[in-house]
């Protein structure tokens, strides 16, 4: 019991008014009720937060029963009829859902291949700079887009890359007209990936910088003494030092393969069309909240959530088997 840890607490301050209470603390057989009573004020700190998480994180989990109902807002959850797995059957037979799932997986794959390594490369590049001042200035600049909402990011990109922007102008001066990258379904997935890199690459470097700074200088020195040039030092010292962090982040990324920039895609879907831009989250939104097909869209959301959680837990177990620390 934790209370045993401070045996000296009462004896250290003889004659204090709190002595009796402090002495009681030392009795090894404090009942739980006694401990609860002693710490009662701490519960006033915990209670509001606990209520918040129960209501806004755990209560909605129950709302997923709608996935097994022919839900109608008029009858509510208690009054709607149960349909078993019908919604799931309809979902897998729906070409739009299959399209959304494929798009999600393609975009996820592109992000793991291109967006995931980008911050690692940038961190290595900035780390190789000698001047602290240049490093800090560049960091300030590359962090910036992380703090801007997707709406602003897309609005800005539209102004620069859209049909009326300077890039399209540039193309038309060399004779290529009507270039509008922002509305081209064929290149949309590449566009989405570049937007993600632009917005998040700088912010992503923070955690790698911390990992790099934790690598002891002696390792570099020893490598240099053994004749390793700067490339070999990066390859044999820096990168191995980053492996635990990379594994950790990869677990998180794999856990969210079915979640790809919801707002980002929702905002751009009207310009490029559902065939190229529909992903699971936007499918749920358009089918459910705009379309009123509650049961089916909840089923799609539940499918996404369950698979995602299974993937994180599995990836974590796998990482532990590989000998890294894992996430939890």
Partner 1 sequence: MTTLTAPPVRRRNARPVWMGQPSRASQSLKALVIALIVLVMLYPFVYVIAMSFASREAQASGSAFPTSYSLDAYRSIIGGGVVTRSLVVTALVTVVGTALSMLFTTTLAYGLTRTRRVPGSRTVLVLVLCTMLFGAGIIPNYLLVRSLGMLDSYWSLVVPGLISAFNMVVVRNFFMGLPEELLESARLDGASEWRIFLQIVLPLSKAVLAVIALFYAVGYWNSFFNAMIYLNDTAKWPIQVVLNQYVVQGTALSTLQAPDQPPPPGQTIQMAVIVVATIPILLVYPFAQRYFTKGVLTGAVKG
* Cβ-based neighbours of 10, under 8 Å, separated by 6 or more: 19, 22, 23, 25, 26
Q: Between 226 and 275, whose beta carbon lies closer to partner 1? A: 226
Q: Between 52 and 109, whose beta carbon lies closer to partner 1? A: 52
- Contact criterion met (CB below 8 Å) for 234 and 128: yes
Q: Between 36 and 322, whose beta carbon lies closer to partner 1? A: 36
Closest CB 275 distance from partner 1, rounded Å: 19
Closest CB 289 distance from partner 1, rounded Å: 6
Q: Between 106 and 220, whose beta carbon lies closer to partner 1? A: 220
| Rounded Cα gap, residues 143 and 316, in angstroms | 29
- Contact criterion met (CB below 8 Å) for 75 and 294: no
Closest CB 254 distance from partner 1, rounded Å: 13
* Cβ-based neighbours of 326, under 8 Å, separated by 6 or more: 248, 251, 316, 317, 319, 320
Q: Strands 81-82 and 69-70: what pairing?
A: antiparallel
Closest CB 140 distance from partner 1, rounded Å: 6
Residue 56 Cα distances to 45, 53, 263, 301, 304, angstroms: 18, 5, 21, 17, 19
Q: Between 112 and 207, whose beta carbon lies closer to partner 1? A: 207
Closest CB 26 distance from partner 1, rounded Å: 14
Closest CB 321 distance from partner 1, rounded Å: 19
Q: Between 189 and 202, whose beta carbon lies closer to partner 1? A: 202
Closest CB 142 distance from partner 1, rounded Å: 6
Q: Between 85 and 160, whose beta carbon lies closer to partner 1? A: 160
| Rounded Cα gap, residues 173 and 180, in angstroms | 15
311's tokens: 């993937």
Closest CB 182 distance from partner 1, rounded Å: 10
Alpha helices per DSSP H over the chain: 8-11, 19-26, 32-38, 40-53, 59-62, 76-79, 86-92, 95-110, 117-127, 132-143, 150-161, 166-173, 188-213, 217-225, 230-233, 239-255, 262-272, 274-277, 280-284, 294-321
| Rounded Cα gap, residues 258 and 253, in angstroms | 10
Q: Between 7 and 270, whose beta carbon lies closer to partner 1? A: 270
């Amino acid at each position: 019991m934790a209370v045993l840890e401070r045996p000296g607490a009462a004896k250290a301050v003889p004659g204090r008014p709190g002595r009796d209470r402090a002495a009681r603390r030392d009795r090894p057989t404090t009942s739980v009720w006694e401990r609860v009573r002693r710490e009662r004020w701490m519960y006033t700190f915990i209670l509001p937060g606990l209520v918040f998480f129960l209501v806004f994180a755990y209560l909605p989990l129950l709302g997923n029963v709608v996935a097994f109902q022919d839900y109608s807002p008029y009858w509510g959850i208690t009054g709607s009829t149960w349909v078993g797995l019908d919604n799931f059957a309809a979902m897998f037979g729906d070409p739009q859902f299959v399209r959304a799932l494929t798009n999600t997986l393609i975009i996820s794959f592109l992000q793991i291949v291109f967006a995931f390594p980008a911050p690692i490369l940038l961190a290595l590049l900035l780390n190789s700079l000698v001047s602290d001042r240049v490093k800090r200035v560049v960091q300030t600049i590359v962090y910036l887009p992380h703090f801007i909402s997707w709406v602003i990011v897309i609005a800005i990109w539209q102004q620069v890359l859209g049909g009326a922007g300077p890039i399209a102008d540039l193309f038309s001066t060399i004779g290529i007209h009507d270039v509008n990258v922002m509305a081209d379904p064929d290149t949309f997935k590449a566009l989405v990936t570049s937007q993600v890199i632009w917005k998040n690459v700088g912010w992503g470097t923070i955690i790698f910088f911390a990992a790099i700074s934790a690598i002891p200088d002696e390792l570099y020195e020893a490598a240099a003494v053994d004749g390793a040039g700067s490339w070999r030092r990066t390859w044999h010292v820096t990168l191995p030092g980053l492996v635990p962090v990379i594994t950790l982040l990869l677990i998180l990324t794999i856990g969210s393969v079915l979640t790809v920039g919801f707002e980002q895609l929702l905002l751009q879907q009207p310009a490029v069309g559902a065939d190229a831009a529909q992903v699971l989250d936007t499918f749920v939104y358009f089918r459910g909240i705009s379309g009123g097909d509650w049961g089916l869209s909840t089923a799609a959301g539940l499918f996404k959530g369950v698979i995602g959680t299974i993937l994180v837990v599995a990836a974590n177990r796998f990482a532990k088997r590989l000998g890294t620390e894992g996430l939890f």
